[in-house]
Structure 1
Amino acid sequence: MTKLFLSLHVLAAIVTIGPVTVAASMFPPALRRAHHGPGAPDALTTVRTLHRICRVYAGVGIAVPVFGFATASSLGVLGSGWLTASIILTAAAAAVLALMILPTQDRELTALQDDGPRPDVPAAGRLAMLTGVFNLLWATVTVLMIIRPGSTTGA
């Protein structure tokens, strides 16, 4: 059962977190393009699509910690320090996404649809920074999962 839970955990992480990190990273430049230039209709469609990807995959991404807890429980490592650190970092990444990135994307998308192009886009810079933090948190969790202290893989 442990191998099944671990496989589902890794697959869920790849299938859900990967698209969110890519789409969230692509959103700020697409937002800048949507605010400027002649290709605004195509850029607006791109921004809308990227936001939808972030929203949908963030919701489905709840499978990652669910299968992670199941895996940790079956391995008997729920009290390990590296796992506690990973849980805290995962919660922080989820908070950054749910409380900062997605609402800002939603506000900017609404503003684009209502007002049309604007000359200055400071939100794109903030979103780029928040996305960088989100990605760094997930990269740290990934490293902890691979080189965790007390690993039985011998690596």
Structure 2
Amino acid sequence: MTKFLLAVHVIAAIVAVGPVTVAASMFPPAARRAFGAPGDADALATTRLLHRICRVYAVVGVAVPVFGFATASNMGVLGDTWLIVSIVLTALAAGVLALLVLPRQSAVLERAEGDGVVEEVPGERATAARAATVRLAMVTGIFNLLWATVTVLMIIRPGSTTGA
């Protein structure tokens, strides 16, 4: 049963977390393209699609810790330090995604969709949009770094019997 749970946990991580990290990383440059070419329906559609991928796979990603806890329980490692650190980092990553990345993507997307607004100062919209996408890229990088750290902890866990 442990091997089955571990397999589902790993597959869920690959299928759910992978697309979120990639789509979230692609969102800021796609949004900058949408801002750089107001009225470009393809650029805006790409930005919308990347945001939707992030939202949908964030929900699907709940399966990762669920199967992770089940696997850890079967393995009897729930109290191990490496697992506790992984749980904390996973919770931080989920918080960064839910509280920072997704809301900022929504705000950037709303700004990109509202390109019919007349600017009082030429170039002000582009400057503000660039600043918002740069901040979003930074927060997304933190999210990705947290997941990368969890992945490393899962592969090179202290006390592992794999000999690594």
TM bracket (short chain): over 0.9
* Aligned twin of 2:121: none
In the TM superposition, structure 1's runs of 4+ consecutive aligned residues that sit over 4 Å from their partners are: none
1:131 aligns with 2:145: no
Alignment-mate amino acid for residue 52 of structure 1: R
The superposition leaves residues 59-99 of structure 1 with CA deviations (integer Å, 9 ceiling, x where unpaired) of 01000000000000000000000000000000000000000
1:86 aligns with 2:91: no
Q: CA deviation at 1:40?
A: 2.3
Which of 112, 126, 134 lines up with 1:119 in the alignment?
Answer: 126
1:96 aligns with 2:96: yes
* Aligned twin of 1:147: 156
Number of residue-to-residue matches in the alignment: 155
* Aligned twin of 1:77: 77
Alignment of 1:32-43 (within 5 A): 32-37=32-37, 40-43=40-43
Unaligned runs of 5+ in 2: 118-124
Alignment-mate amino acid for residue 90 of structure 1: T
Alignment-mate amino acid for residue 84 of structure 1: I
* 8 A contact 1:93–1:137 mirrored in 2: yes
Unaligned runs of 5+ in 1: none
Which moved further from structure 2: 88-97 or 35-44? Answer: 35-44
* Aligned twin of 2:62: 62
Q: CA deviation at 1:37?
A: 2.4
Distance 1:20 1:39 in 2: 27
Percentage of identical aligned residues: 70
Alignment-mate amino acid for residue 86 of structure 2: S
Distance 1:152 1:2 in 2: 15
Change (3 A) 1:116 1:35: farther
Distance 1:39 1:111 in 2: 13
Q: CA deviation at 1:116?
A: 4.5
Query: Secondary structure in 1 aligned to 2:15?
Result: helix
Name which one, 1 or 2, has greater alpha-carbon Rg: 2
Distance 2:87 2:144 in 1: 15
